[in-house]
Structure 1
Amino acid sequence: MTTPAISFEFFPPQTLEASFRLWDTVQVLAPLDPRFVSVTYGAGGTTRDLTREAVATLHKSSGLPVAAHLTCVNATREETLGIARDFAACGVTDIVALRGDPPKGSEGFVPHPDGFASSIELIEALKEAEDFNIRVGAYPDVHPEAADAQADVAYLKRKFDAGADEALTQFFFEADTFFRFRDACEKAGIDAPVTPGILPIENWKGAVRFAKQCGTHIPSWVVDAFETAERDNREDLLATAICTELCSKLLDGGVDKLHFYTLNRPELTRDVCHALGVTPNVDLKNVA
């Protein structure tokens, strides 16, 4: 089994306590030498300033390559591109370009009158504005707003045609889900990297909520396994085993990169990475 290249997603802290948790998370995972880390944008652009601050701080203090999420929600084109230019000014030229989730309580995405109407428009503008490395979202399970799986693949191809460099998928529970999606992408003529997104299940009920929101299918065997594990108080053991097995199957199937959604809780992600052979990169000059 090949040792994968890895990357991690964090979300911006909204309290002092959360700031400490983010920094602790970075300290735990940074020694695994990720190829980049990303910082999310809240639904409806609610964490826009927090994301900007977290990205700048991580870039300056951690020494890690940082990718900033950027969405089209609740902002004009100029405001959005201004944020992108701010990222570039502080040395961050990796962008995860997304349409973005609508604000909580709204019925769906409505573009700002002077804003970008889609992630494709955002990608095209970013490519014109700066020499950004652009990553985008992809959906192995059908996106809730997509007509079908083929529509998801066709839209992803449009993102690459607009200038995207890599796709990061939504999380999924079975390797075959990703392999079917990968095959469909290849059939559609997509030859750019499509990296699997992995969610180590720190909280089962939370994972179920996330899955419902983004249309991720939960196999019945996973539901049964977690219900049993909850009764036996062995959720962490099960989560580690399931996530490690999923990643191992992906690697055996030719995948060489994995993107972990950490939820700013690093322990399970770290344990899975160790099980996959991703070990801390220790600078020998700092070892007594």
Structure 2
Amino acid sequence: MAGALNRWLLQERVNDLLLRKFDTPAPAISFEFVPPRTNMMEQRLWHCIRRLAPLSPHFVSVTYGAGGTTQAGTFSTVLRMKQETDLALAAHLTCAGTTRRDVDDLARRYWAAGIRHIVALRGDPPTGSANATPQPGGYAYASDLVAGLRRIADFEISVAAYPETHPAALGPDADLDNLKRKLDAGATRAITQYCFDTKTYLRFFDRCLAAGITAPIIPGIMPVSNYGQIVRFSALCGVTIPDWLTELFEGTVENPELRRIIASIVAVEQIRTLQAYGLNAFHISTLNRSDLTYAIAHLLGARPAGQHAA
């Protein structure tokens, strides 16, 4: 009985969100994909791409693994997407543990292939390394990488921002100064690390404005497709898991349908709240799972071209 009641309450929340969409314009959404490591993962990635492409996202990005471990996979995935889709593409590019020459060569290959948007990151340390010490003559920081990309070609450049402060930063002010350096070096926009506390997001945006940052800052949104996985990943990157989120996912291990409903509501509610404060662009991590991302986009008003409600 309690399970049926919970399902009814969740469905009522979905209905409320659907009604509210008519009062709030659909936001500009972009998607993040992960390069595959196996044939099965590649099949899932391409199913996800083909499912989400008709929603006409503002752009899509393809990530790197830690220490650049998926550099070849990122490059090949982006090029295949360029050949087989009409999506606006952004390739992640990191500089940790890599020579400047190698980074510059890869950037030139992207430009020659028609890729005009780079997500420029320092990146994680290579596997087995304690820190992201640059190669001799390499780019030490993301701001250096941004400046280097600007010398190579007229890229559109996105950089990272951290509402809860980067784990390696000396503090919030130092982290904000670093964001300013990246934007001053020529970055077009910033995309934030995901954050589940909307108040933390809003405080961060207020601090950015007070610091004179006027470039667009796009909130990163992480749908909780796997609660345990998100907890482990968040611990590594300094993201707080609120108690209310833990409580929502209690008792859902054996109920994937309920997990998807909860994850959809959490993501859409966060986006709608941020829209109420004037934000209207969001970058959604898909983790190459199309159903949950598609449901969130649908609730936000995204539809394939020519599709209307019956």
TM-score category by the smaller chain?
A: over 0.9
Q: For residue 218 of structure 1, what is the amino acid of its counterpart?
A: I
> Once the 2 structures are TM-superposed, how far is the Cα of residue 269 of structure 1 from its aligned partner?
1.1
Q: 1: distance between equivalents of 2:291 and 2:255?
A: 20
Hey, what does 1:198 align to over in structure 2?
221
TM-score, normalised to structure 1's length? Answer: 0.95
Hey, what does 1:270 align to over in structure 2?
294
> Once the 2 structures are TM-superposed, how far is the Cα of residue 231 of structure 1 from its aligned partner?
6.7
Alpha carbons 1:229, 1:238 under 8 Å: kept = no
Q: For residue 103 of structure 1, what is the amino acid of its counterpart?
A: P
Within the alignment, does 1:261 sit opposite 2:285 as a pair?
yes
> Once the 2 structures are TM-superposed, how far is the Cα of residue 219 of structure 1 from its aligned partner?
1.0
Q: For residue 97 of structure 1, what is the amino acid of its counterpart?
A: A
CA RMSD, Structure 1 to Structure 2 (Å): 1.5
SS in 2 for 1:259: strand
Q: 1: distance between equivalents of 2:173 and 2:246?
A: 27
Hey, what does 1:8 align to over in structure 2?
31
Hey, what does 1:245 align to over in structure 2?
269
Q: 2: distance between equivalents of 1:195 and 1:140?
A: 11
Counterpart selection for 1:27 from 46, 50, 53:
50
Q: For residue 203 of structure 1, what is the amino acid of its counterpart?
A: N
TM-score, normalised to structure 2's length? Answer: 0.88
**Can you list the C-alpha shifts for 1:231-278, whole angstroms capped at 9, x where unaligned?**
766222211111111111111111110100111111111101111111
Within the alignment, does 1:89 sit opposite 2:80 as a pair?
no
Q: 2: distance between equivalents of 1:232 and 1:264?
A: 20
**Can you list the C-alpha shifts for 1:58-86, whole angstroms capped at 9, x where unaligned?**
11111101100000023211110100000
Q: 1: distance between equivalents of 2:203 and 2:239?
A: 14
Within the alignment, does 1:58 sit opposite 2:84 as a pair?
no
Q: For residue 81 of structure 2, what is the amino acid of its counterpart?
A: L
Stretch moving more, 154-163 or 100-109 = 100-109
Hey, what does 2:204 align to over in structure 1?
181
> Once the 2 structures are TM-superposed, how far is the Cα of residue 52 of structure 1 from its aligned partner?
0.8
Q: 1: distance between equivalents of 2:276 and 2:259?
A: 26
Q: Looking at CA atoms only, which structure, 1 or 2, has the larger radius of gyration?
A: 2
Q: 1: distance between equivalents of 2:305 and 2:195?
A: 29
Hey, what does 2:174 align to over in structure 1?
151
Q: For residue 158 of structure 2, what is the amino acid of its counterpart?
A: R
Within the alignment, does 1:76 sit opposite 2:93 as a pair?
no
Query: 5+ residue gaps in structure 1?
Result: none
Hey, what does 2:246 align to over in structure 1?
223
Q: 2: distance between equivalents of 1:75 and 1:103?
A: 9
Stretch moving more, 267-276 or 149-158 = 149-158
Query: 5+ residue gaps in structure 2?
Result: 1-23
Hey, what does 2:190 align to over in structure 1?
167
Counterpart selection for 2:304 from 235, 259, 280:
280
Runs of 4+ in 1 over 4 A off after TM superposition: none
Stretch moving more, 208-217 or 224-233 = 224-233
Stretch moving more, 105-114 or 17-26 = 105-114
> Once the 2 structures are TM-superposed, how far is the Cα of residue 98 of structure 1 from its aligned partner?
0.1
Q: 1: distance between equivalents of 2:45 and 2:271?
A: 24
